[in-house]
Amino acid sequence: MTTETYLPPYTLTQKRLDLIRPLFGQEVAVAACDPLGDLPTPFPDELACLSPRAVDKRRREFAAGRAAAHQAMRDLGLSPQPVVIAASRAPVWPAGLIGSITHTQSCAIASVATAGPLRALGIDVEEDTPLKDELQPAICSEREQDWLKKQDSPGQMGKLIFSAKEAAYKCQYAISQSFFGFDGMELEIEPDVDNLGGHGRFLACFTADQLPFRRGFSIEGTYVIGAGIIFTMASLWE
């Protein structure tokens, strides 16, 4: 007679989490949640941030993002606390914590760390679908568009540029509180670092002063493509 050990199904959400986890150091907790699955109810203070007119899709993605943030706090050994929304629509992290939340219709991800040498985080997840050609001029500089023309998958790389700028923008906003458009940064992308397959690095360079950041200052980031998503992460250290 043999005994079998039950193993829970390896879900797409877990596969995506395993894919992105190597992009972070051990000081950062990362968690993921499926907006289409069974979701825990957010804290009352979090629910109060939602518009009464919010559609089901918005409510699910919001709840999934908060569930991921709460799990990341647990992974740091902390009790979950509310992550509310500022007037700017950016998340407000509990005292002593930094973090970032991102979601698509099929995936919500949160990264959380204790404030310290790591000053700011920015993450973004996008479905791995091509960026529409008509959107390229609004998102990509002329130099970035020239770079896209040389790529085997310009639509996918265009979506990568979009995602990387989103991540870098979130990262800098935590410090500068400055709003600007896609022309506020220009990217240099280093694909397939160390032949990892789908992984790479990028630099997001400011094209104008956004105090305390000066024109020419660069934010470092990493990315991975796989499991149906494009994921980017940017960080700022002391």
The number of distinct structural domains making up the chain is 2
Considering the domain architecture, whether residues 169 and 223 belong to the same structural domain is answered as: yes
Considering the domain architecture, whether residues 145 and 110 belong to the same structural domain is answered as: no
pLDDT value, residue 199: 86
From CA 51, how far away is CA 65, in angstroms rounded?
16
Considering the domain architecture, whether residues 131 and 224 belong to the same structural domain is answered as: yes
Q: Quickly list DSSP for 153-221.
A: SHHHHHHHHHHHHHHHHHHHHHHH-----GGGEEEEEEESGGG-SSEEEEEEEESS-BTTBPTT-EEEE
Considering the domain architecture, whether residues 146 and 200 belong to the same structural domain is answered as: yes
CATH number of the domain bearing residue 161: 3.90.470
Of the candidates 64, 87, 114, which is a domain's last residue?
A: 114
From CA 210, how far away is CA 127, in angstroms rounded?
29
194 CB contacts (<8 Å, ≥6 apart)?
Answer: none
Considering the domain architecture, whether residues 109 and 131 belong to the same structural domain is answered as: no
Considering the domain architecture, whether residues 206 and 233 belong to the same structural domain is answered as: yes
Query: Is 3 part of any domain?
Result: no
Considering the domain architecture, whether residues 82 and 181 belong to the same structural domain is answered as: no
Of the candidates 114, 149, 176, which is a domain's last residue?
A: 114
- pLDDT tens-digit map of 43-81: 999 999 999 999 999 999 999 999 999 999 999 999 999
Considering the domain architecture, whether residues 49 and 149 belong to the same structural domain is answered as: no
Q: What is the residue-level pLDDT of the chain in tens, covering all 238 positions?
A: 445 554 556 799 999 999 999 999 999 999 999 999 999 999 999 999 999 999 999 999 999 999 999 999 999 999 999 999 998 889 999 999 999 999 999 999 999 999 999 999 999 999 999 999 999 999 999 999 999 999 999 999 999 999 999 999 999 999 999 999 999 999 999 876 555 557 899 999 999 999 999 999 999 999 999 999 999 999 999 8
Query: Is 181 part of any domain?
Result: yes
List the domain range (segments joined by +) for residue 84.
28-98+105-114
CB 61 within 8 Å of CB 35 = yes
Query: Is 13 part of any domain?
Result: no
From CA 204, how far away is CA 10, in angstroms rounded?
35
Query: Is 50 part of any domain?
Result: yes
Query: Is 68 part of any domain?
Result: yes
Query: Is 119 part of any domain?
Result: no
pLDDT value, residue 156: 95
Q: Report the Cα–Cα distance between both ends of the chain, in Å, rounded.
A: 60
Query: Is 16 part of any domain?
Result: no
Considering the domain architecture, whether residues 159 and 233 belong to the same structural domain is answered as: yes
Considering the domain architecture, whether residues 93 and 166 belong to the same structural domain is answered as: no
Considering the domain architecture, whether residues 159 and 223 belong to the same structural domain is answered as: yes
Considering the domain architecture, whether residues 136 and 78 belong to the same structural domain is answered as: no
Query: Is 19 part of any domain?
Result: no
pLDDT value, residue 2: 46
